[in-house]
Structure 1
Amino acid sequence: MNLGKNSELFVFSLYNPPNVLLNFDFFKTVNKKCRNYILGGDLNARTKQIGCVGENENGIMLERIINELDFSVINDKRPTFNIFNNKNYFEILDLFLVSSSLIDKITDFTVLNSQDMTSDHFPIEASISMGY
């Protein structure tokens, strides 16, 4: 999106299957080529750093992405995933990651867990104020 003032906002949607390791080079390329970016999706990355109960290889890779590149998670600790037949298993798998240039412009984050969905994932929503 062109925001005027020689500024662009890049928006990415990503699904990463549970058995596929997150591609560090993809995130590195986004970080290098884009100043303002939002990436949302089901990353299947479990790490205690973002409030998950369990951990996996994708979680370890996500920690590396957060720690080494310009990505910040805007999710709070509310779960975005529940196994239907196990009412006690919740996890945070659906994330919004943003560049540091946008972190102070995020005005709201919501997990829409009251929606009647046919998925074991809850939709997530973020609001951003660009000052226009």
Structure 2
Amino acid sequence: MNYAGRRTWPDKSKSWEYLGAAESIEDFALRFATDCSLDANTEFVVIEKAGAESDIQFFKVSRVAPYALMPAEPRVEGTQSAGQAPPPQLTSSHDIRKTLLANARFYLKVCFTAVAFFVSAAWLMHIFGLTK
């Protein structure tokens, strides 16, 4: 059978970058990963070039020495493969400063609230004569 393969993540190829024949789609996928020296966790798709009833499978490189593959889910733009939103990434020093400033404001609000509570409790106890 003839097959074609291309990377889908982290780099997304717009065209089929590897063509060839193999006995099975798994054999072709393993040869594609090996010949192109794909890194671990690289995801790619392989399609059987047999017309309208073509078999399509997604793979992920799970090990590189020696190469091993595992099935993968197709990725949808903007989300991870399991349908979950990706974790937020702090990409610039501005984002990091904003996060640190937000954390500092929260800490100060908590401290101010605690101090205000104890001061008002002491003042009320003094007003009602509960202190000696």
TM score, norm. by length of structure 2: 0.26
Q: Which has the higher contact order (CA 8 A, sep 6+)?
A: 1
Larger helix proportion, structure 1 or 2? 2
Larger Rg belongs to: 2
TM score, norm. by length of structure 1: 0.26
Larger strand proportion, structure 1 or 2? 1
